[in-house]
Amino acid sequence: MASITVREPVDIVVVGSGASGAAVTWSLAEDDFKVVCIEQGPWVDPKTYATNSPDWQYLQRTKWDYSPNVRKLPQDYPVNDDESQIKVVMYNAVGGSTIHWTAHVPRFHPSDFRVKTLDGVADDWPISYFDLEPYYDLNDEMMGCSGINGDPANPPRSPRQMPPVPLGHDGERMARAFDNLGWHWWPSDSHINSIDYKGRKACNFCGAVGLNCERGARASTDITYIPDAVKLGGEIRTNSTVYEIATNSSGKVTGVNYYNEQGEPEFQPSNGVVIAANGIGTPRMLLHSKSTSHPNGLANSSCMVGKNLMFHVYAGANGLLNDLPTPTYHGPLALIIMSQEFYETDPSRDFKRGYTFQIGRGQGPAPTAIGDVPWGDNHHAEFNRRFGKNIGLGAIGDDLPEEVNRVELDPHLTDRYGIPSPKIIYRVGENSKKLLAHAVDQAAKVLETAGATNITRNALSTNTGWHLMGTARMGDDPERSVVNKFGQAHDADNLFIVDGSVFVTGAGVNPTPTIQALALRTADYIRHDRMDLKS
């Protein structure tokens, strides 16, 4: 190996610039910490987004695919998910997976932090909803939240920045169906602009749903937190892949070793390190950072690093709404309304915890033709019957943690630098199976009530591993958890983890506002209680 260049020391290195890394970088830069965020991917120019190309549907299945194993871009590390019922998706670039995300941002319920106490399952979190509330609010301010107050399923909260994204004819039809059943529904909270916000335009319902947004109507951290962090003096070092967090003989972290843009090894010394590489990338990095002081991998004296992987389980039903004035592919995907009728534990059901229903819109012509419509003589007729009519009702289920579900280092597969790839071992648990069976039946009922035809049931979605959680969990007990309630490693007090790895349970909602709120809380802790890390 070539000799290693040693860079000027900084206060804090942040590994990863996605939802969490961007938030923490901004917050620390705001308090004059000398902070460098090291990101393995490049900046992505919104002009190059697939949605700007007439071939966007082809690109959606190739270099803009959700899966790194399909995209195979230079910065993507391959993921061995052969032994996982759910396949991993993520994006590696400035902005991380928010480059691809759908931006549906419901919050956890207060009960989600107390599932052991309330339901006798998994563990309680060492914090409450109310510890996170101010950080949820700050994050909404930074990302821009569309939504409306008054949801009876959630605690009262401060107003969102923008009114809800319009429901559209499809959303209104589905809302009426929930009303007819007497079931809860509420306009979805989304980090998508319903009106212009902070220099970013409102959503124009252009229709290429589920894939990027050149207008900037959908928030991603490359256009929210990161420009502000850079203005405040934070540095984003791109195309730089961290391969090891370095430690000294007393077990403290001393900085990170990484390959720079030219593929040459460098060492970035720092007073502290924040890892924000997501629920797969973070355990990978910790397990790969073995040393004399951390022989099981960094911060792994509990042997909990990589264990308790949660994805969220998805199932639901689809149908055709044949008589709407507008096609169902117009507008943001999955962001119309949500229902939390079946969110909390009900002792009359055979499973604990619950799920949120999200409505998913229809697809473009190519995915409809190759996905939904059977081949054969009737292909064109069937296509015409279905295209623009498809509506989906998906349940996102609370996926309780189990130690057997885990991330390990693959003994053979590596990335372009020879760093071991993650190997995912995951199977859907018994509680989740019962929860999903319930959800599929209820989804079909809503679609029937909405007057949908051709209703099909989907018992388990498998290409939906986009919520990566639990693999370096938070807790008070150093023998059962990796970090404490501030995201600080039990085994190294100048190491912090801020992504979904720290989740104790996954709840039945999309995780990113909770990930970002936790990241901002950890940053606040560093700002106020770890001034020793500031030079």
Comparing CB distances to ligand FAD, the nearer of 283 and 354 is 283
- Encoded tokens for 221: 């951290």
DSSP string, 471-484: TT-B-S-TTT-SB-
- The residue nearest ligand FAD at its CB is 18
What gap in Å lies between CA 507 and CA 310, rounded to an integer?
10
What gap in Å lies between CA 95 and CA 102, rounded to an integer?
13
Tell me the chain's radius of gyration from C-alpha atoms.
22
Kindly state whether residue 136 participates in binding ligand FAD, applying the rule CB under 6 A. no
Touching ligand FAD, residues 35-54 (CB under 6 A): 38-41
Angle, alpha carbons 109-200-104 (nearest 5°): 25
Residue pair 167/203 in contact (Cβ under 8 Å)? The answer is: no
Of 253, 512, 520, 526, the one binding ligand FAD by CB under 6 A:
512
Comparing CB distances to ligand FAD, the nearer of 15 and 450 is 15
Comparing CB distances to ligand FAD, the nearer of 93 and 373 is 93
Kindly state whether residue 26 participates in binding ligand FAD, applying the rule CB under 6 A. no
DSSP string, 442-464: HHHHHHHHTT-EEEEEES--SS-
- The mark string for 62-101 relative to ligand FAD (x by CB under 6 A, - otherwise) is ----x----------------------xxxxx--xxx-xx
Output b/e per residue, 463-492; b: 16+ Cβ within 10 A. ebbbbbbbbbbbbeebeebbbbbbbbbbbb
- The mark string for 184-223 relative to ligand FAD (x by CB under 6 A, - otherwise) is ----------------------------------------
Comparing CB distances to ligand FAD, the nearer of 93 and 304 is 93
Q: β-strand 406-414 against 253-259: which pairing, if any?
A: unpaired
Kindly state whether residue 109 participates in binding ligand FAD, applying the rule CB under 6 A. no
Of 105, 317, 359, 400, the one binding ligand FAD by CB under 6 A:
105
Kindly state whether residue 17 participates in binding ligand FAD, applying the rule CB under 6 A. yes
If binding means CB under 6 A, how many residues of this protein chain bind ligand FAD?
Answer: 41
Kindly state whether residue 18 participates in binding ligand FAD, applying the rule CB under 6 A. yes
Q: How many CB atoms lie within 10 A of CB 65?
A: 19
Comparing CB distances to ligand FAD, the nearer of 456 and 463 is 463
Of 14, 115, 192, 242, the one binding ligand FAD by CB under 6 A:
242
Q: How far is the CB of 413 from ligand FAD (least distance, A)?
A: 15
Comparing CB distances to ligand FAD, the nearer of 386 and 481 is 481
Q: Where are the alpha helices (DSSP H) in 259-324?
A: 278-288
- Encoded tokens for 17: 């610039």
Kindly state whether residue 355 participates in binding ligand FAD, applying the rule CB under 6 A. no
What gap in Å lies between CA 176 and CA 87, rounded to an integer?
34
- Encoded tokens for 239: 């195309």
CA distances from 499 to 63, 434, 471 (A): 25, 29, 10
Of 239, 241, 318, 368, the one binding ligand FAD by CB under 6 A:
241
Kindly state whether residue 510 participates in binding ligand FAD, applying the rule CB under 6 A. yes
- The mark string for 137-176 relative to ligand FAD (x by CB under 6 A, - otherwise) is ----------------------------------------
Q: How far is the CB of 494 from ligand FAD (least distance, A)?
A: 19
Sheet with 337-339: list strands edge to edge: 186-187, 337-339, 355-360, 390-397, 313-320, 453-458
Per CB under 6 A, residues contacting ligand FAD are 15-21, 38-41, 66, 89-93, 96-98, 100-105, 241-242, 276-278, 281, 285, 466-467, 499-500, 510-512, 515
